[in-house]
């Protein structure tokens, strides 16, 4: 009898801690409408066991175009082009942290990292990979980097051209196993 009681206490303790990490969730980023056409918003969403969606509130991130977001665990990375005429070919990123209690992503500051359009990003652990189109032709470029989640920063290496002609790159980082 005593063994069963100890085992049940262990299961209940695990059940109180584990659900925060076991829930499937995703981050959605979209642009506003009308006069907020270039304003980016994000929402966190949990996928319940029965397949229904539990949406968090819309959070304003800032201005931008051609955005791409990627989520790994509790860290999100958003890349986008600038919204203003003078920054429309400038690339920026934000690093965010998922909070399932508030159902929101706490986004870090906007950081400029290069020139281009149509950015795509993926990461696994601390390794980040980004691809984008050249600002004035169809050349495709790729950058690798390291993410520091605590500081909400990415250290990118130099952009390397990997294709002479292409549009709308999409990239995904995996382990290859």
Which of 86, 79, 173 is closest to 133 using CA atoms?
79
Paired sense of beta strands 127-133 and 90-99, if any:
unpaired
- pLDDT of 81-108, one tens digit each? 998 888 889 999 999 999 999 999 999 9
Largest Cα–Cα separation, the chain: 74
Mean pLDDT of 50-72: 94
Q: Model pTM? A: 0.84
When the pLDDT of each residue in the chain is averaged and rounded to a whole number, the result is 86
Q: Alpha-carbon distance 37 to 64, whole Å?
A: 9
The pLDDT value given to residue 87: 83
CA distances from 84 to 5, 38, 39, 65, 157 (A): 64, 9, 11, 9, 26
Q: What percent of the chain has pLDDT over 70?
A: 86
Domains of the chain and CATH, by start: 21-163 (2.120.10.10)
């Amino acid at each position: 009898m005593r063994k069963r009681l100890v085992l049940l206490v262990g299961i209940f303790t695990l059940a109180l801690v584990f659900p925060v990490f076991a829930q499937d969730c995703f981050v959605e980023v979209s642009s506003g409408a009308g006069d907020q056409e270039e304003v980016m918003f994000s929402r966190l969403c949990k996928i319940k066991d029965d397949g229904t969606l539990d949406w968090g509130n819309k959070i304003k991130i800032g201005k931008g175009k051609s955005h791409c977001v990627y989520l790994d665990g509790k860290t999100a990375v958003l890349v986008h082009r600038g919204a203003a005429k003078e920054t429309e070919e400038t690339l920026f990123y934000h690093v965010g942290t998922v909070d399932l209690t508030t159902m929101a992503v706490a986004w870090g500051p906007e950081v400029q990292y290069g020139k281009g359009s149509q950015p795509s990003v993926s990461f696994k652990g601390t390794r980040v990979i980004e691809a984008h189109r050249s600002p004035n032709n169809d050349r495709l470029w790729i950058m690798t980097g390291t993410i520091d989640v605590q500081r909400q920063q990415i250290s990118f290496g130099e952009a390397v051209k990997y294709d002479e002609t292409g549009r709308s790159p999409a990239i995904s980082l995996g382990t290859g196993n």
